[in-house]
Amino acid sequence: MRTVSNYNGVKFRSHFRLSRSSVEILSSKIINRYEGNYILGQKRISFYRALLMTLWYLSNNETFRQLGDRFDVACGNACRTVHYLIDIICTVCDDFIIWPKGSNLINVANSFNTLRVNNFPNVIGTIDGCHI
C-alpha cells in the first residue's frame, strides 16, 4: 500500500485504469455499503485497501494468489473481498454507465464514425482503449 501512495498520477492511472479523483468519487458512492470481511484469525481489510485491490484485479491479469501477495492478504480473503466489492460497485453502476438515448444516440454513433476512415459502424461507446 505504501508503494501505491507513492505512485504519481500517470502511474496510478496506468495500474488502476482510473485517476485518483475517479477512485475518490467511486469511493464516496460505495463506502457506506462496505462492511469489512472479517474471517476468524485474519485481520479486517480496510475499505480503501479492498477498493484498490478490486480495481487492481479488474485492471490487471493477476490471480488471487498474486493479488493477495501484492496487497498482503490471504488468497481466499482476496477472492471474497473482490467479489464482495464488485457486488457493491454493481449497485451504483447506473450512476457511472449512461447509455446515449434518442437523437443523442445517433450523434454519438456519428462522432465515432468520424474518428477513423475504416470505422466500426454504429459504435456508441468504448472501454479502456487498449488494443489486444
Q: In degrees, to the nearest 5, what angle opens at C-alpha 13 toward C-alphas 46 and 65?
A: 50
Please write the tens of the pLDDT for every residue from 63-108: 999 999 999 999 999 999 999 999 999 999 999 888 899 999 999 9
What letters, b where the CB count within 10 A reaches 16 and e where it falls short, cover 9-25?
A: eeebbebbbbeeeebee
How many Å apart are CA 53 and CA 49, to the nearest integer? 6
Residues with Cβ within 8 Å of residue 66, at least 6 apart in sequence:
none
Residue for grid cell 473481498: 81
pTM of the model: 0.79
Please write the tens of the pLDDT for every residue from 13-66: 999 999 999 999 999 999 999 987 656 566 788 999 999 999 999 999 899 999
Give pLDDT, residue 132: 44
Extract the C-alpha cell encoding 25. 468519487
